[in-house]
Structure 1
């Protein structure tokens, strides 16, 4: 199966039809089976600390969760319901004003029930991350009636 048409459709639906993604202005930089990259342009209302001009960590969290979920869907290559089970973030440095946030995410293990993802967020250079994360996403499974 050629994943390109699915990934193009996934990217278009993600950026245009997911309400909070559209409202935030998250942009798709790249998408394939191995990894995705998103970009969040800077906005003044992202500031959590206006004195020091630092972006609120919740903005970073939203970008990471969105990128990880999209990486799962890109890897599975078929639409299916997923849900974030666990999302651990290490904030390494504050995100500063006037620069966009970039997030790269990739799946490192896929099982029939769980998908494991890593991501990195940076501003000026990938080798200087703002935050790193690991996540686990639950895949939908068919419910089977059990008789005890």
Structure 2
């Protein structure tokens, strides 16, 4: 019977020791460090935003549009594309066949291919060097095969 109260007292001491708030010098340094880190991140973010805002108009003037690629017209809405770094898939959901190709930002030329209704054509992807697929375009001005 005497052991239970002693065990209870020990548990009580441990509980109170753990529940007391602790103030450590490291926590004060962490607060100061996080403030400095926030200033660094804020200035880095601001600098990046300014550089990107200045660079975006220049990049936009260099980019080609799918409609203006060598007099080719944009593909109809039923011709869609999905671009990946390795492959670009062009699907023809139309009821007629179209001769299509893919336009890249850097002007990469790929041959035209015929997409019959329901077809999925595979073209090269945009790669790992910052290129971009701008869209699928028709190769002939009349839009048919």
TM-score, reference length from structure 1:
0.28
User: Per residue, is there more strand in 1 or in 2?
Assistant: 1
- TM-score after normalising by structure 2: 0.28
